[in-house]
Amino acid sequence: MSARKKLVAGNWKMHGSRAANAELLGGILQAGPFGADVAVCVPAPYLGEVGITLAGSAVAWGAQDCSAHEQGAYTGDVSVSMLSEFGCRYVIVGHSERRAYHGETDQQVADKAKIALGKGITPIVCVGETLAQREAGQTEEVVKRQLSVVIHTLGQCIGEIVVAYEPVWAIGTGKTASPEQAQEVHALLRAQLRAASQRADGMRLLYGGSVKPDNAATLFGQPDIDGGLIGGAALKAADFVAVCRAAG
């Protein structure tokens, strides 16, 4: 059994309101403490309020993206310095929705991870293949390419990140990679990280893609799956709590 402490991070995506957030966070806090580390990654306008609500609790908070630039004329972007001021512990970078809808490249993702680490924020770096790529037998090639740019950019600091494997075909579709499929890719990523860092065995690799209360325990029971990056189930307190409990 792995000695790595599991991490469950909720990705709210572009969901939420002040009232809904308060209800959701209240339910999570009431259910704690958990055996796993728990975090919520929330839309930028809510970071201040969420930080106040969670201050002093065991639940961490983070952002869903950051700029690769420190500051400047980048209208609409949010810098890691700003996130740091709001107490962010994590920031998601390279989510497939950012890659697909905003054209983010592997190098931009790596640059965001680097600047986040420089401010003491842990990047949750997402990798994953589309259905077409999986059916073409390109899963290994795609995820290794995505991660290799991050490894090259971060150097010895690679051991400080969290990696999330999210098969694009399983995000919000109700389809989930089987535990065996997910473990196969996680083991591949772990081997790639071992070649780059002595700390690879201590790094947390998360699975994301239609994780729910009824499949979480089986997924989290795989030897190289150290928790989850949770989408839809993170928006309902009962579901998110159940997933967190499945992790420890």
**Which token pair is 13?**
């995506």
Give the burial class of 78: count Cβ atoms within 10 A of its Cβ; 0-12 exposed, 13-18 middle, 19 or more buried. middle
**Burial (Cβ within 10 Å: 0-12, 13-18, ≥19) of residue 31:** middle
Residue 131: both structure tokens together: 């259905």
Active site positions, annotated: 95, 166
Q: Cis bond leading into 33, ω under 30°?
A: yes
